[in-house]
Amino acid sequence: MKIGIVGVGITEFRIHEEPFYNVAYQAAKTAMKDAGIERREIDSFILGGYDSLGVGRTISNMYVAPAAGGYLRHEIRVADDAAFSIPLAFMRIKSGLSDVAIALGFGHSSETPVELVEVQSLDPLFHRDLKLAPQMGYAMQSYAYRNAYNVSEEDLAEAVVKDRKNAMKNDYAYVKEETSVEEVLNSDMAVYPLREPEIAKWCDGCVAFILAEETIARRINPDPVWIGGLGWSYDNYFLGARELDKLNSTKLAAEKAYKMAGIRSEDVDSVEIMDLTSDYHFMILEALGFADYGSGKELLDSDFPVNKSGGALCTNAYGSTGMFLMANLAMQIRNGEAERGITHAISGIGQNSVVCVLSK
């Protein structure tokens, strides 16, 4: 039995004045309309996003479950990037517990001092007092990566330029401003060695998917986007015990997803990656198997479509970024721009990754 995406709902990605649950409701409504189904036809309500401290409410489901249409039903949620809720929705259907599921991802940064919240997520005895913002963790990975493979600042700036260029063509992207290598290299140093445009900016936005088991999926939508493979993995929490010049969680997640789908990286024709920094852009592509370590820049010179959405560097809603990228790939497949692609999400200073294979 295959499992397909039969409905997609993407809200605007920007700074929303409305609280996250009202934006989430819009995403859910749009996805149901897109699938042409009523909420009573849904039998699993899966929620994903930065719960608790992330939105300043310890039980976000009090708002998000109703926003998903789950009034007096059940819900289950993942307090991580919403892309990590996709395996959960997939498994509920695959196991036969559910026929039609909604996966609703909420991303909201504008009410939250994100870095201060992220510091609270660190170990309280050994790390929290060191005030490590996530961007500082990414920067230490960037430093290690550049140092290990002699990657030039120009090549990294080019990754930003390319994402920005792609975002111009994406109605849903947040940062819509073209830039040049020169401009990136002359911009302010933010978190050394990362300059300001090399780090994803926070925004708000929500995404919902309607997923269904094969027979029902075909009845709902003549052309579902199938989830061919899934993999997720996590690396050591202790940064000092990790290889910081690589993204091993992504590598392991990708291996599992490829194995399940019975494909290799050569078999896909589009990829959406959660490049929270310019270095991540290359590091992720390498971990996914598209280039050797240190050679991710090769893809910039090729025609291979990476982040047609503009990537996380242009759209990074705190909690729904990975799901946003996945929705973009699903739309590309629907529109005939791609036949089979992979989508990637990462969280926790690169500790956790999830990779999905989507196909026609």
Partner 1 sequence: MVLKFEAKWEIPYVHSAGEHGTKFFEALREKKILGVKCPECGRVLIPPRAFCERCFVDTDEWVEVKDEGVITTVTVTYIKFTGLPDPPYATGIVKLDGADTGMLCLLGGVDLSDWKKVHEIFKPGTRVKAVWKDKPEGKITDILYFEPVEG
Residues that bind partner 1 (CB under 8 A): 17-18, 53, 56, 113, 115-116, 119, 124-127, 129-133, 135-136, 139-144, 147, 188-193, 196, 236, 238-241, 244
Through-space distance between the first and last CA atoms of the chain, rounded to whole angstroms? 15
Nearest CB to partner 1, comparing residues 186 and 236: 236
What is the spatial distance between Cα 63 and Cα 42, in angstroms, rounded to a whole number? Answer: 18
Q: Which amino acid is at 95?
A: S
Nearest CB to partner 1, comparing residues 145 and 174: 145
The CA dihedral of 325, 352, 119, 50, to the nearest 10 degrees, is 50
How near is the Cβ of 110 to partner 1 at its closest, in Å? 10
Nearest CB to partner 1, comparing residues 74 and 128: 128
List, as one string, the DSSP characters of 278-343. Answer: HHHHHHHHHHTTSS-TT-GGGGGGSS--B-TT-HHHH-EETTTHHHHHHHHHHHHHHTTS-SEEEE
Nearest CB to partner 1, comparing residues 48 and 137: 137
Nearest CB to partner 1, comparing residues 62 and 189: 189
How near is the Cβ of 278 to partner 1 at its closest, in Å? 14
244: left (phi over 0), alpha (psi -120 to 50) or beta: alpha
How near is the Cβ of 157 to partner 1 at its closest, in Å? 16
Q: Which amino acid is at 257?
A: A
Nearest CB to partner 1, comparing residues 131 and 264: 131
Residue 194 carries which DSSP code? Answer: E
Residue 345: helix, strand or coil by DSSP? strand
How near is the Cβ of 152 to partner 1 at its closest, in Å? 15
What is the spatial distance between Cα 324 and Cα 274, in angstroms, rounded to a whole number? Answer: 10
How near is the Cβ of 350 to partner 1 at its closest, in Å? 13
How near is the Cβ of 115 to partner 1 at its closest, in Å? 4
Cβ-count burial of 47 within 10 angstroms (0-12 exposed, 13-18 middle, 19+ buried)? buried
How near is the Cβ of 234 to partner 1 at its closest, in Å? 11
**E strand or H helix at 218:** helix 214-220
How near is the Cβ of 186 to partner 1 at its closest, in Å? 14
How near is the Cβ of 329 to partner 1 at its closest, in Å? 31
Phi, psi of 204 (to 5 degrees): -125, 150
Residue with tokens 């007096």, as numbered in its chain: 72
Nearest CB to partner 1, comparing residues 18 and 177: 18
What letters, b where the CB count within 10 A reaches 16 and e where it falls short, cover 296-335? bbbbbeeeebbbbbbbbbbbbbbbbbbbbbbbbbbbbbbe
Nearest CB to partner 1, comparing residues 138 and 209: 138
Nearest CB to partner 1, comparing residues 123 and 178: 123
